[in-house]
Amino acid sequence: MTSDQEAKLPRLTKFAVYAALIMLSIPAILPLLWMVSTSLKTNAQIFGNGDLNLKALIPSPLETSNYPAALQNMPFLVYLRNTLLLCIFGVVGAVTSSAVVAYGFAKIEFPGRNTLFGLMIATMALPGQVTMIPIFSLFRSLGWYGSYLPLIVPAFTASAYYVFLLTQFFKTIPTEMSEAARVDGATEWRIFLQLIIPLSRPALATCALFQFIGTWNDFLGPLLYLNDPAKYTLAYGLQQFVSHYGGFFAQLMAAATIFTLPIIILFFFAQRTFIQGISTTGGK
Amino acid sequence: MAVNDSTTRSRIKGYALLALAIIVTAVVLATGNETPRKYPHRKIVRFWHRWQGDWEKQVQKIVDAFNQSQTEYEVVAVSVPSGGSDAKFILGVIGGDPPDLMSMFSGAVPNLAANGFLAPLDSLMTPDEKARFFKDSYPSIRDIGTYKGKCYGVTIGADLMALYVNVKQLRDAGLDPDKFPKTLEELEDWGLKLNQYDKKGNLTRLGFLLNDIGYVSHYFGGGFDVKDDGRLLLNTPQNQRALETIVNYRKKLGFENVLRFQAGLNDIEGAASWAFMHGDLSITYDGQWRVEELRKFKPDLEYRVYPIPAPKEGGTPLGGLVGGNYMIVPVSAKQKKGAWEFLKFWTGLDNPDRAATFYNMGGWLPYSPAVANSPTFQKWLKKDHQFQAFLDILASPNCKAPPPIANLQFLNDLITRAEDEATRGDVTPKEALQELEDKFKEERNKRRELGYDE
């Protein structure tokens, strides 16, 4: 619904639409609220009342000590640094490499383009378990096992999903614009960097956000490739936290809140661009 | 246009330099932060384990003790989350870069051995060590690590279950903790007397709960077994009786009521948080490691430990099913000899008295009577005398190992499912066990068609 359409709606209809949207958002928000609420309670408060009502969601008294306690029970800053490192390189690598490949598929005519595109799309159907062992063997023979390289380098080799999204988006940019630039003598690189990229910010932001969330939440990659606690990531650390402090629900939820917070903040900042990107790339 | 092209070229150069800088930084950072080794000139023995929190600290103390004890090897321990430990291990072996030693849950040993992932530990033992190991070990502990006559796993922390009894709560209910029930039927009556409820009828304290058919069946003369000749002892009259007893007792308590009560319990292993410590459970059966936890975290709690009494008719006292953490060496481990040296050090095969300290640290059951009877262990036992009940069970002929079959995990899942269905009232105990046996036979036939010998 655009803002013009929204302005034309009668007040009652608008109220009904918002009420329906709020109702529909409750199932998504409730677990999040429960997580934050539990992180601010004592164990006695959590287990003391088995009733499920809104009042039970409000911590009384407010127990903020779960946060420092959770942070003390794992080297949070080390895990955060490691996770951010992987996220930053993952985002830069995935977005730049996927954009270059997508530009080729969307804007450059070459023999076998559609076949190659089809093959690339087909790789998305391969389950991770099928490629897990050969990829592991490859990285081990390269001497990368135990380092961050198996978690960083693949991001620089383009992701089929992002290439698909970006190709769809690049195709919506009129070919006449690229043609005009070509007539003016611009090279493919110049068209890509100065014309296509500036027009594709929403789609690129969407890919960046997906990659960031994917890397942030990745547990399996660090589990398989890292063997040194000094290199562990937040998702890995949280799993260890669950294994050992699973019964300390309040602390566990505090750790989960700390883990989730950056993603929520990132989404709030980037939501307009993200939604725009989703709606224009066909990723919805 | 020439000016524009040169601007573009310089921009491309800028982007290329930026990309290069990113990759170089990534490589530098990726290799920068490493935990330094204490003894970098020694041969490294990579040890993966699944202990965390306080237990991880105990394991590290044992590793440190080994590293200080000799000059050839350095054991480097890495704690791996339980959830993905088997995947990490299997991938490490297939990918050619496994640890040298790993502690794995006992149920996985036969399957890993059957699939060729493990090195037989017999091949690492000297003839003298081999003779001593097979002669000295508690039979049930030895049997878990044995697959087709070869030893693939050695325990450094076997587990058994017994009853923990809250003395004060018993006295408050008019029950004498020194005259503990001799039969399971008496124990059930005590449990019902100890239950407490709120105004809504919800359980607030659980007197006693009989569950875990895989374990309890051993007190009924049963147990789930697959013999070497292929005979199945699954849907037996003894197991049926055990499951009927569990179901009937659960009916008295109310299935949903127990479930709701258990969901609210605050239970953590290896920490100061266990429902028994908080008084939420009056009599409960749990592992031997709780003795050490109670000593550390709740020294004032008056409690006793008793073996689960057998049923009045046809019962087998001091029954049990051993499980726990087993040390395995991957077939492609690079430092098998170092791994075996560390394993000997920890288990006490070469020095039972020294190893007794390690078993005591985590409240683990020793692999042999030689360790249990050592002066250090006996001294500790005087302090933690409640531990004796577990040693009595371990020494009993009714204490068994799970069947050494490659699809043990599948069988365990079927056992859990059968108990769950029967206690929910979906099927009768007899039907549940019949379904279990049928499904196991079906799976075994499928495996045989695929070329597996069991």
Residues of chain B whose beta carbon is less than 8 angstroms from a beta carbon of chain A are: 1, 4-5, 8, 11-12, 15, 19, 22-23, 26-27, 29-31, 33-35, 46, 48, 52-53, 78-84, 87-88, 91, 94-97, 202, 260, 264, 266-268, 270-271, 273
Please check whether residue A269 touches B, CB under 8 A: no
Q: How far apart are CA B107 and CA B257, in angstroms?
A: 31
Neighbours of A118 (CB within 10 A): 10
User: For all residues of chain B together, what is the average pLDDT?
Assistant: 89
Angle ∠(B396,B397,B400) on CA atoms, nearest 5 = 95
pLDDT, average across residues A11-19: 87
Pairwise CB contact (< 8 Å): A149 & B91? no
Structure-token pair, residue B449: 């068609």
CB contact under 8 Å between B8 and A246, yes or no, is no
Kindly state the average pLDDT of the residues A113-128: 92
Query: Predicted confidence band at A252 (pLDDT cuts at 50, 70, 90)?
Result: confident
| Tally of CB atoms within 10 A around B173 | 15
Structure tokens at A164: 């698909």
Cβ-Cβ contacts under 8 Å for A189 (sequence gap 6 or more): B8, B12
**CATH number for the domain whose boundaries are B43-158+322-400:** 3.40.190.10
Q: Cβ contacts (< 8 Å) between A89 and chain B: which residues?
A: 22, 26
How far from each other are the two terminal CA atoms of chain B, in whole angstroms? 77
Name residue A134's amino acid: P
Cβ-Cβ contacts under 8 Å for A196 (sequence gap 6 or more)? A103, A107, A170, A173, A178
Residues in chain B with pLDDT < 70? 1-13, 15-16, 19-33, 266-273
How much is the pLDDT for A284? 44
Instruction: Give me the pLDDT at residue A15, please.
Output: 87
Q: Are strands B320-321 and B399-400 parallel, antiparallel or unpaired?
A: parallel
**What's the CATH fold of domain A70-173+201-281?**
MetI-like fold (1.10.3720)
Least confident of A1-10, A105-114, A163-172: A1-10
Peptide bond into A61 cis (omega under 30): yes
Tell me which residues of chain A, numbers 32 to 91, contact chain B at a CB-CB cutoff of 8 Å: 43, 47, 50, 78, 82, 85, 89
- Give the end-to-end CA distance of chain A in Å, rounded to a whole number: 16
Task: Please give the single-letter amino acid code of residue A241.
Answer: F
With contact defined as beta carbons under 8 Å apart, do B119 and B329 qualify?
Answer: yes
Stated as kind and residue range, the H or E segment containing B4 is helix B2-32
Classified as helix, coil or strand, B425 is coil
Q: Considering only CA atoms, which of B213, B186, B197, B222 is closest in space to residue B306?
A: B186
Peptide bond into B429 cis (omega under 30): no
Secondary structure (H, E, C), B367-397: CCHHHHCCHHHHHHHHHCHHHHHHHHHHHCC
Two tokens, residue B100: 């040298």
* Spatial distance between the Cα atoms of B34 and B36, rounded to a whole number of angstroms: 6
ipTM higher than the 0.85 cut: no
**CA A162/CA A210 separation, integer angstroms:** 9
Give strand ranges (E) for B256-328: 283-287, 303-306, 320-321, 323-328
Element (H, E) at A176: helix A175-183
As beta bridge partners, residue B46 has: B76
What average pLDDT does this structure show over A189-199? 91
Q: Tokens representing A227?
A: 């063997």
d(CA A273, CA B130): 68
d(CA A118, CA A82): 36
Q: pLDDT by residue (tens digit) across B53-96?
A: 778 888 999 999 999 999 999 999 998 887 788 888 998 888 78
Instruction: Name residues 234-263 of chain A within 8 A of B (Cβ).
Output: 236, 239-240, 243-249
Count CB-CB contacts under 10 A for residue B67: 19
DSSP structure string for B122-141: GGGS-HHHHHHHHHHS-HHH
Same fold, B43-158+322-400 and B161-320+407-449: yes
Look at A145 and B95 and tell me if their CB atoms are within 8 Å.
yes
Residue A20: burial class (beta carbons within 10 Å; 0-12, 13-18, 19+): exposed
B374 sits in the region (left: phi over 0; alpha: psi -120 to 50; else beta) called: beta
For residue A43, list chain B residues with Cβ-Cβ distance below 8 A: 266
For B204, nearest residue in chain A (alpha carbons): A48
Q: Which of B179, B180, B185 is nearest to B313 (CA)?
A: B185
Sign of CA dihedral B398, B399, B402, B403: negative
- The tokens of B46 are what? 């990579």
Rounded distance between C-alpha atoms, residue A270 and residue A208, angstroms:
10
Best A49, A52, A223, A232 member to test B by mutation, with max B CBs in 10 Å, is: A223
- Would you say how long chain B is, in residues? 454
Question: Can you tell me the distance from the alpha carbon of B98 to that of B88, in angstroms, rounded to the nearest whole number?
Answer: 9
Name, in order, each residue with C-beta under 8 angstroms of A167's C-beta and a sequence gap of 6 or more. A102, A105, A106, A117
Residue ranges covered by each domain of chain B: 43-158+322-400, 161-320+407-449
What CATH number does domain B161-320+407-449 carry, 3.30.450.20, 3.50.7.10, 3.40.190.10, 3.30.70.260?
A: 3.40.190.10
Chain-chain contact of A92 with B31 (C-beta, under 8 angstroms) = no
Query: What are φ and ψ of residue A105, in 5° steps?
Result: -70, -35
Nearest partner of B162 among B319, B270, B286, B280, judged by Cα: B286
Task: Show me where the domains of chain A are located.
Answer: 3-63, 70-173+201-281
Tell me what pLDDT residue A165 has.
93
Question: How confident is the model over A181-192, as pLDDT tens digits?
Answer: 989 888 889 999
pLDDT of residue B121: 95
* DSSP string for A46-91: HHH----SHHHHS-SS--TTHHHHHHHTTTHHHHHHHHHHHHHHHH
Per-residue model confidence as pLDDT tens digits over B343-390: 999 999 989 999 999 998 888 899 999 999 999 999 999 988 889 999
Strand partners, B306: B163
Distance (Å, rounded) from C-alpha B152 to C-alpha B104? 11
Those residues with Cβ within 8 angstroms of residue B179's Cβ, 6 or more apart along the chain or in another chain: none
Contact predicate B347/B355, CB 8 Å: yes
Q: Is the pLDDT of residue A257 over 50?
A: yes
Report yes or no: B442 and B240 within 8 Å, Cβ to Cβ: no
Average pLDDT, chain A: 85
As given in the structure block, the two tokens for residue B294 are: 């109670």
Distance CA B157, CA B133 (A): 16
Is pLDDT at A1 greater than 60 in this prediction? Answer: no
Task: Report chain B's C-alpha Rg in angstroms.
Answer: 26
When pLDDT is averaged across residues A79-91 and rounded to a whole number, the result is: 91
Using an 8 Å CB-CB cutoff, list chain B residues near A85. Answer: 26, 29-30
